[in-house]
Amino acid sequence: MHWTWQDPDWPNFRYQASALEDLEDRFLHQSGVFRGSIAHVQSDEKAQLTVQWITEEAHQTSEIEGELLNRDSLQSSIRRHFGLATDHRRIPPAEAGIAEMMMELYQGHAAPLTHERLFSWHRSLTHGRRDLREVGCYRSGGDPMQVVSGPIHEPKVHFEAPPAASMPAEMEAFLAWFVRTAPGGETPLPTLTRAGIAHLYFVTIHPFEDGNGRIARALAGKAIAENLGHPALVPLSQTINRGRKEYYARLQQSNHSLEITPWIRYFAQVVLDAQAQAQADVEFLITKTRFFDLHRGQFNARQEKALLRMFQEGPAGFTGGLSAEKYIRITGTSRPTATRDLHDLMEKSALYRTGQLKGTRYHLNLPVTPAL
């Protein structure tokens, strides 16, 4: 089977720039809107939101690869990196490692991409692993690097990476391309185009024994941050994970040709969707601030605890709404008190009710936030 890297013209990817112009323009416009919106967020709230985003990215990029990490441990580790208060829990190696890599990516978004930096990411990413032969270095030997499925006697090869012997040259060429296409480089590329190629280029080389997908997504994030000139708070992995089957199908479709317009258009739309999610998160946070300003001094401790818990669920809120039973579990109060509290919250227009009897549910009655 012919693979992309076996093409005589590798790694000169081809694509139709005109087919990406509308997506690139939308990205630049939405980036401006986002910066204007987040400027309205107080510094402490912005710090909490940043922790939330980085935590989710670490969690979701791992989940894409089938690794389920503890979200609370991830968040605790990331809060420590920011110097914020934590619960001082013991952080398992996998959670500590991916958190370290994500924080280095966030704080060092403008630092040059080098072999050693990639090695450092790999060491963090594989922290605590005992099943890998080569950690913190490119693969150097062994059997061909393949992605396969099916029975052992009749495996289906979905992808085969370049041989290990070519890794030094391949990665030298990749790093040169990354520098050359950056803002201020010899041949700078638009943001989404560069991020999409960076991801596909790296994952095609597959330079490490494991962790290539997570590092490829990190590189896409770095490319976006370099082009924007500031850390990219874009929930890329969250968006990819929601459509994980299509993500892997698109990668597989891009294994055999240097013509990658479909891949870049797909990846660009993923970034735009992630950007829209970040915008929604910021607007929801602003709405939360307005909600509590509007009702300042109106809630008792139980009511405030329940409302904050509802806001933690994000714009969608609790699935199906807040029930009286859930209010009792959140606050630890009695049913009569819960009934009085919920009725009071409706009287104050903090909640509205749907359904009847056992089907009664309560929802946040959010103020309308002016366009930013």
CA 248 to chain centre: 16
pLDDT reported for residue 276: 96
Are 214 and 138 in a shared domain? yes
Q: Note whether 341 and 333 are within 8 A (CB).
A: yes
Q: Could you report the per-residue pLDDT of 106-151, keeping only the tens digit for each?
A: 999 999 999 999 999 999 999 999 999 999 999 998 788 998 887 8
pLDDT reported for residue 369: 58
- All residue ranges of the chain with pLDDT < 50 are 371-372
Give the C-alpha separation, 150 to 91, whole Å. Answer: 36
Are 90 and 150 in a shared domain? yes
Give the C-alpha separation, 254 to 133, whole Å. Answer: 29
Number of domains the chain is built from: 2
Are 336 and 201 in a shared domain? no
Q: Note whether 196 and 270 are within 8 A (CB).
A: no
Q: What percent of the chain has pLDDT over 70?
A: 99
- Structural domain range at position 345: 301-364
Question: What is the pTM (predicted TM-score) of this model?
Answer: 0.90
Are 8 and 129 in a shared domain? yes
Are 331 and 224 in a shared domain? no
Chosen domain end from 238, 254, 283: 283
Helix axes 191-205, 167-180, angle to 10 degrees: 180
